[in-house]
Chains A and B, each alone.
Chain A
Amino acid sequence: MPHLAALLRVARRLTFESASAEDLVQETMLLAWRGFHGFQPGSNARAWLFRILFNAFHGEGRKAQRSAGPGPASVVVNAKLQEAVEIAEALQLLPVEQRTVLLLCVVEGFTCREAGEILNVPIGTVMSRLSRARQELRNSLAPQLKAMEAKGAFR
């Protein structure tokens, strides 16, 4: 099944719960399968799947939690992994709208226009959310990154 990993990756960061994320992806794939007649051949199947995922996420009234997610890994084995944990935590603290555009545009590589179509918001909204999200993420990560860079972790 194509794009399943990408859908699950984003779903995990929407729900912060592995089981809920898998439920959401299952629901997405079933909705896509049943509504395949609505897919226009030649259009972006990946964007179509993500649109279904976000519709399912919002349609089910799932509440994105900002801080109730899993904690950082108990054992941080190296600096790269530690950074990943720090970023995951910072991402988790972002409002869901900002987190969503970061995931779509930065991680999954959608353009702002595509993200706007997926989320059904104007491109300008995506761009402003993206800008705010980057700024908040940068603010959240600043102390940790500064400390880690001071230790030469990224060299």
Chain B
Amino acid sequence: MTDDELDQRLRASVLSEEMDTAQLQRSIRERMKPALLPFWAMATAAGILLVIAGGLAYRAFTPSAPPICVAAARDHGSEILDGVPREWLSDLAAIQSLAAQQGVPREAIAALGSTGYRLERGRLCFLDKQIFLHLVYSKDDFDYSVYLRPRGAQSPFDGSIHQASSGTENLAYFQTDRLIAVFVAEHSSADALAIARAAASVL
């Protein structure tokens, strides 16, 4: 018997077997269904990881707040939010006098009042080893802090308005020809920015 004859008989023998694959196909499809779960679980996990990575990247590439702003946020948190007892001035004349002693123009305080907020109180405080005039303005149960000091020879900021966050506080800061100003608002970064913009036009 030649190879070809042998092959032919072998093929005929094996291929003569009846093959009913319907049940097998059903079984395979059934087993493929649960296998979908890990795929979707992995897709969900990948989505979560993407969000986390995005958050980390955002934090990594978002400029960190300058030391003065970090100190301002801390000061605002303890003195305004936590209500640590401090000696405040609430009389406008007294505050303006204190401001003048520190080189902050009296008219700046009045100008900040034109932003729609009312001056509540003021005191001096240290931020990053520098003396600032801390003023608290209020409107509709919403308080914000503004920290002012005369601009020195080496200014920490530039002329444009910047945003930052430190802890739960939202900050905006800028400097003018005369002053360095840091605004802290706990509601949202948009609030801090809006207040800073309004103030920048009058300071």
Instruction: Give chain A residues whose Cβ lies under 8 Å from the Cβ of B16.
Output: 80-81, 84
* B32, CB-defined interface residue at 8 Å: yes
Instruction: Give chain B residues whose Cβ lies under 8 Å from the Cβ of A114.
Output: none
Who on chain B is nearest to A12 by CB? B17
**A contacts with B: majority SS:** helix
* B24, CB-defined interface residue at 8 Å: yes
Q: How many residues of B contact A (CB 8 A)?
A: 22
Count how many pairs of residues, one from A and one from B, have CB atoms less than 8 Å apart in the complex: 71
* A96, CB-defined interface residue at 8 Å: no
Instruction: Report the bound CA distance from A155 to B192 in whole Å.
Output: 101
Q: How many residues of A contact B (CB 8 A)?
A: 30
Who on chain B is nearest to A103 by CB? B14
* B19, CB-defined interface residue at 8 Å: yes
Instruction: Flag B1-27 by CB within 8 Å of A: 1 or 0 each.
Output: 101001101111111110101001101
Shortest distance from the beta carbon of B79 to any chain A beta carbon, whole Å: 59
Instruction: Give chain A residues whose Cβ lies under 8 Å from the Cβ of B7.
Output: 106, 134
* A51, CB-defined interface residue at 8 Å: no
Instruction: Give chain A residues whose Cβ lies under 8 Å from the Cβ of B15.
Output: 9, 107
Instruction: Give chain A residues whose Cβ lies under 8 Å from the Cβ of B35.
Output: 30, 33-34
* A138, CB-defined interface residue at 8 Å: yes
- Per the 8 Å Cβ criterion, residues 130-155 of A in contact with B are 134, 137-138, 141, 145
* B28, CB-defined interface residue at 8 Å: yes
Instruction: Give chain A residues whose Cβ lies under 8 Å from the Cβ of B14.
Output: 9, 13, 87-88, 91, 103, 107
* B86, CB-defined interface residue at 8 Å: no
From B14, B16, B32, residue with most partner A Cβ within 10 Å:
B14
Instruction: Report the bound CA distance from A26 to B21 in whole Å.
Output: 11
B3 and A134 contact, CB distance less than 8 A: yes
27 pairs, A vs B, C-beta closer than 8 Å: A1-B21, A1-B25, A1-B28, A4-B21, A5-B21, A9-B17, A9-B19, A12-B17, A13-B14, A25-B24, A26-B24, A26-B27, A26-B28, A30-B28, A80-B12, A80-B16, A83-B9, A84-B12, A84-B13, A84-B16, A87-B13, A102-B10, A106-B7, A107-B14, A134-B3, A141-B6, A145-B1
Q: Which 8 pairs show the lowest CB-CB distances between chains A and B?
A: A87-B13, A84-B13, A5-B19, A106-B7, A4-B21, A107-B14, A29-B28, A84-B16
